[in-house]
């Protein structure tokens, strides 16, 4: 009936009538216009803020980059890579170690599964039967590889060519694990050799481990230099245990003393810091120029307190220049600190940098906390290893002194200029004992605790850090029982 009355035309809905009435309503039109203006102002404010943040960041970054280019030419990672001297394979300890690790026998993995505990070394004592048996098993299993690895001591060159991933944090360094595995094999062989009374063979293993450290060389990553520090620590501990168990010849001791002193002088921390600065600058450039997708790369680096998606592509591009500038400034401070002589002032500067990183701030500061490396901890590791190397160098010199005079020196003298304690910037401490000599650093607490040494990587308060020597009658004591697993 309604269709007939309307000539078959559709009847307008009541909603349409209502909409038309609302549109004709002056108040509604004014309200809509007001909301539209507000929305436009919000968009303009956000856009203005975005451009303001980015422009300030770009200006800050430009100043920092200009200063770096003027004061530190060659600081970018591409320049650092180009300046590295990589030895030919036949003279390259790192390259040879990688190839050697690839030739380990299949049984090595089965042997590794037996390493279920840490065996604490007891000063002046033979290793326990279980530890010695495990070390002897792997030395016999890899006899051919041990002989080849020991010959690495004759190589002075190193360096592995590294391909930097555009997403720098994704750069892989598989050679480091292989080099460290070869060093561990040499450490086990050194223990077996020392226990069997073959002191010169044990120190040849030590010299090979130090050659592997030289093989890592100036690799421009902190993780690479941390591995080099670990190798230096292995060399020191293997030297100490060797002198607990046997009497190497004076000529071999002189060779080891020179190698330890050379490693102590290497600026490992500087290599790592300079490389990290250049590499992370490259990452920031790749994010900013579109080589990398910002969202996927940056969200994984943001502070956990931020809501998910807080740094997606658009906001991140506003913050990136500022984060990059602040990162470079902090790394410049860290590098300047690392260039100072070892001592409390240097350590205090690294602590101040760490405190500044932890300071609460804006979004750029929150993002900075996520990308800035644990520089203070790397510094602590380097100082600890330097202290061990200095103590070991002096201890081997004292052992050579005993070879000539039949007794240890009673203090510092003409036989050796005392090495510096990197924790205190004072001479290392020297303490004669009833059984020999202790040469030590005051350690992180900078307090002389009477030569009470700790073998842990982080010496607790009340302990020192150093090297123990025993006169021949007090060496090769029976092994002490190990605590239950």
The pLDDT tens digits of the residues spanning 215-233 come to 999 999 999 999 999 999 9
Please list the residues that pair with 432 across neighbouring strands. 437
- Crossing angle, helix 375-405 and helix 344-358, to 10 degrees? 160
Measured distance CA(248)–CA(246) in Å, rounded = 6
Q: Cα 21 to the chain's mean position, in Å?
A: 72
Contacts of 384 (CB under 8 A, 6+ apart): 444, 457, 459, 465
Q: So what's the pLDDT on residue 462?
A: 87
Beta bridge partners of 468: 438
- Over residues 235-294, the pLDDT tens digits come to 999 999 999 999 999 999 999 999 999 999 999 999 999 999 999 999 989 888 878 776
pLDDT value for 311: 44
* DSSP state letters, 79-124: HHHHH-----GGGBHHHHHHHHHTT--THHHHHHTT--S-----TT
One DSSP character per residue, 340-384 reads SPSSHHHHHHHHHHHHHHHS--SHHHHHHHHHS--HHHHHHHHHH
Over the stretch 12-62, which tens digit does the pLDDT of each residue have? 555 566 666 655 666 666 776 777 777 777 777 667 666 777 888 899 999
Q: What is the mean pLDDT of residues 194-215?
A: 98
Whole-number Å distance between alpha carbons of 112 and 231:
19
Give the count of beta carbons closer than 10 Å to the beta carbon of residue 401.
17
Distance CA(58)–CA(60), nearest Å, equals 5
């Amino acid at each position: 009936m309604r269709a007939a009355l309307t000539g078959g035309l559709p009847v307008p809905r009541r909603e349409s009538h209502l909409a038309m009435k609302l549109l004709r309503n002056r108040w509604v039109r004014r309200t809509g216009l007001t909301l539209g203006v507000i929305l436009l102002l919000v968009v303009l404010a956000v856009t203005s803020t975005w451009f303001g943040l980015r422009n300030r960041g770009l200006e800050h970054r430009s100043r920092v980059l200009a200063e770096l280019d003027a004061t530190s030419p060659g600081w970018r990672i591409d320049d650092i890579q180009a300046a590295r001297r990589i030895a030919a394979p036949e003279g390259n300890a790192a390259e040879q170690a990688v190839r050697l690790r690839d030739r380990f026998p299949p049984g090595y993995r089965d042997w590794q599964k037996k390493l279920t505990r840490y065996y604490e070394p007891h000063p002046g004592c033979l290793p326990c039967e279980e530890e010695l048996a495990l070390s002897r098993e792997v030395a016999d299993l890899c006899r051919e590889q041990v002989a080849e690895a020991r010959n690495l001591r004759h190589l002075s060159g190193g360096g592995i060519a590294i391909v930097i991933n555009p997403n720098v944090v994704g750069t892989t360094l598989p050679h480091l694990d292989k080099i460290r595995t070869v060093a561990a094999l040499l450490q086990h062989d050194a223990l077996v050799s020392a226990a069997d009374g073959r002191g010169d063979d044990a120190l040849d293993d030590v010299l090979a481990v130090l050659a592997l450290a030289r093989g890592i060389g100036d690799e421009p990553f902190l993780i690479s230099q941390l591995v080099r520090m670990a190798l230096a620590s292995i060399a020191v501990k293997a030297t100490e245990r060797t002198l607990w168990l046997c009497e190497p010849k004076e000529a071999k001791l002189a060779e080891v003393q020179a190698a330890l002193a050379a490693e102590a002088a290497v600026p490992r921390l500087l290599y790592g810091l300079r490389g990290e600065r250049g590499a992370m600058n490259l990452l920031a450039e790749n994010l900013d120029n579109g080589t990398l997708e910002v969202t996927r790369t940056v969200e994984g680096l943001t502070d956990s307190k931020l809501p998910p998606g807080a740094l997606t592509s658009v906001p991140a591009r506003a913050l990136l220049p500022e984060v990059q500038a602040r990162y470079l400034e902090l790394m410049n401070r860290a590098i300047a600190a690392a260039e100072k002589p070892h001592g409390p002032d240097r350590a205090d500067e690294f602590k101040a940098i760490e405190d500044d990183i932890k300071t609460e701030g804006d979004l750029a500061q929150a993002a900075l906390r996520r990308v800035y490396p644990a520089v203070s901890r790397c510094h602590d590791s380097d100082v600890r290893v330097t202290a061990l190397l200095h103590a070991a160098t002096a201890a081997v010199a004292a052992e050579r002194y005993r070879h000539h005079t039949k007794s240890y020196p009673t203090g510092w003298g003409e036989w050796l200029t005392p090495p510096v304690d990197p924790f205190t910037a004072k001479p290392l401490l020297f303490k004669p004992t009833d059984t020999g000599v202790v040469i030590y650093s005051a350690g992180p607490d900078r307090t002389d605790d009477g030569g009470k040494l700790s073998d842990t990587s982080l010496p607790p308060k009340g302990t020192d850090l150093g090297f123990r020597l025993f006169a021949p009658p007090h060496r090769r004591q029976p092994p002490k029982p190990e605590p239950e697993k």
